[in-house]
Amino acid sequence: MARTVLDPTKLKDWQIAAACEKDMKPLAQLGADLGLDADDLIPMGRQVAKVDALRVLARLRHAPLGKYVDVTAITPTPLGEGKTTTTLGLVQGLGYLGKRVVGAIRQPSGGPTFNVKGSAAGGGLAQCIPLTPLSIRLTGDIDSITNAHNLAMVALMARIQHEANYDDAELAKRNLRRLDIDPARIDFKWAIDFCAQSLRNITIGNGSKMDGVPMPSGFQISVSSEVMAILAVSKDLADLRQRMGKIVVAHSRAGRPVTTADLEVDGAMTAWMVDAINPNLLQSIEGQPIFVHAGPFANIAIGQSSIIADELGLRLGEYHVTESGFGADIGFEKFWNLKCRYSGLKPSAVVIVATVRALKMHGGGPAVKPGLPLDEAYTRENIGLVEKGCENLLAHINTVRLSGVRPVVCINSFYTDTKAETAVIRRIAEANGALAAVSDHWLKGGEGARELSEAVIAACNEPNAFKFLYDLSLPLRQRIELIAREVYGAKGVSYTDVALEKAKRLEADPETSSLGTCMVKSHLSLSHDPSLKGRPTGWTLPIRDIMVYRGAGLVVPVAGEIKLLPGTASDPAFRRMDVDTATGAVRGLF
């Protein structure tokens, strides 16, 4: 294929993608190779299709499940460590070995795509294509989530205004009942799929009484919406519809939750999601099928590809490779204790992506800052920094082993790494109960991932004793304490007065006491503090607030100062993007 004449050290990712897109499999062939009928595909242009998931799953409900592989990582630098690239590389590597393999990745958010981190399409010779549709809008799933979310806000704001302006008799004439919504207890924000720090805290309703009720408000990034979480965990349309009506948007003055069903907007919100529930079918640059479904940001959201996409992949392939956001402390922990619990699926293997670059940072290397050149320490051999940084790797190995699964450490090779540096990582990983493999998928594609693929096959053939970290009957604060101590390495947990009061109330409420626990925490450290690298000890996890996503079935403790709407950096990616006006091709995506 085209990969044999492409050199990632000399070409940008978008240039590689453009070259490989010329050799893409036609949709019909991609579907047929996957075992899909023509009627199973819903074409969304010439290069992308949706799969009629409910139709296919109904037909394959008795088909055996393939091997289930999750890809997670160590604590990354702000630049990321190639987790999606490794997911694509592993899919291509298994394909290179002749395995029938399917991948599932999360849809890129406009926030990082146009900011500093770039699209989540992989990189080098391990990419998902076509790049531009994947990175910009795709088939409109995130647009649908944004609109469904904001429709709930529209309904809420309109009801507050009407209740403020009309007495009960007038409301009755308009076929409305008074919900007595407390404007000081609004649980929802508006959604936008960009990094826009100036919209985190705003005031709305300024003007006359016809312009709404004045109150503080704000925005969150769309992929952190509960609607996105519902898409990730729903098993079918009926499940999604039921969950949509449970979303709590506010509270009454008496303290009663006000839901989307109370506002009678849940059905209309679901209407936005009818198409979005079907996973998107794309392909790797070596022609393997890739489902793209649900969203990123495991630090502020569930951060998983969807249960529906994973079940499709497991029914259609011998191996199915999915990814979880950021490090094993947050992405894999949610895959383990939330996604697997809701889906009933159990992993056959778990891959932890590690890089020499990140381990040097955790070992005490200079700060890695987006938009600035890397310090020379990251391109010169320094075995001492790598060895010290492996303390962070060991924490993630221990987390995966807590689940009862033996991890596979993927040493995601950069061409500046030395053999001595990767040998240190392999030695430490294997000495602590993990398999280890160096992978050159970025440079060589599937062929470069052969060693990793063979290690994953070996891990899949080992029996494991997969188990959850906690039972849902365990009280909320004990769960938070368990995650903080066993996964993050904290010495304990502290609560603000607001968070403590909420925790006690949630534990006493039968409807919320058994919801899953979805932590919100910095992805840049095992702790809540992004400046603490390596494997911090002696620190306390501060819980400042607790949110409730009843529709998604989640209680969401918020640790530290993390924001639900990231900010745009001084040198964002959009400065380097443009369009070829003769062809319409987008240039500069990465």
Per-residue pLDDT of the chain (590 residues; tens, 9 = 90+): 444 479 999 999 999 999 999 999 999 999 999 999 999 999 999 899 999 999 999 999 999 999 999 999 999 998 888 899 999 999 999 999 999 999 999 999 998 899 887 788 899 999 999 999 999 999 999 999 999 999 999 999 999 999 999 999 999 999 999 999 999 999 999 999 999 999 999 999 999 989 999 999 999 999 999 999 999 999 999 999 999 999 999 999 999 999 999 999 999 999 999 999 999 999 999 999 999 999 998 888 999 999 999 999 999 999 999 999 899 999 999 999 999 999 999 999 999 999 999 999 999 999 998 777 889 999 999 999 999 999 999 999 999 999 999 999 999 998 889 999 999 999 999 999 999 999 999 999 999 999 999 999 999 999 999 999 999 999 999 999 999 999 999 999 999 999 999 999 999 999 898 899 999 999 999 999 999 999 999 999 999 999 999 999 999 999 988 888 999 988 898 999 999 999 998 988 87
Q: Of 190, 326, 332, 335, which is the active-site residue?
A: 326
Residues pairing with 401 in the sheet: none
Q: Which amino acid is at 365?
A: G
Q: Of 219, 442, 539, 590, which is the active-site residue?
A: 442
Cis peptide before 130 (omega within 30 of 0): yes
Q: Of 3, 50, 67, 106, which is the active-site residue?
A: 106
- Domain 476-559 indexed as CATH 3.10.410.10: yes
User: Does the active-site annotation cover 379?
Assistant: no
Q: Of 298, 449, 484, 490, which is the active-site residue?
A: 298
- Domain 2-139+276-460 indexed as CATH 3.40.50.300: yes
Q: Which residues contact 380 (CB under 8 A, 6 or more apart)?
A: none
Please state the pTM of the whole predicted model. 0.94
Same fold, 2-139+276-460 and 141-269: no
The residues spanned by each domain of the chain are 2-139+276-460, 141-269, 476-559
Q: Of 117, 241, 360, 521, which is the active-site residue?
A: 117
- Residues 460/348, Cβ–Cβ less than 8 Å: yes
User: Does the active-site annotation cover 117?
Assistant: yes
- Residues 34/19, Cβ–Cβ less than 8 Å: no
- Residues 477/370, Cβ–Cβ less than 8 Å: no
User: Does the active-site annotation cover 85?
Assistant: yes
CA-wise closest residue to 187 among 264, 269, 259: 259
- Residues 82/115, Cβ–Cβ less than 8 Å: no
Q: Of 85, 322, 512, 517, which is the active-site residue?
A: 85
CATH topology of domain 141-269: Domain 2, N(10)-formyltetrahydrofolate synthetase (3.30.1510)
User: Does the active-site annotation cover 466?
Assistant: no
User: Does the active-site annotation cover 58?
Assistant: no
Kindly list the strands in the beta sheet with 554-559, ordered across the sheet, starting from the edge strand earlier in the chain: 492-495, 540-549, 554-559, 516-517
Q: Of 14, 190, 414, 539, which is the active-site residue?
A: 414
The SS3 assignment for 425 reads: helix
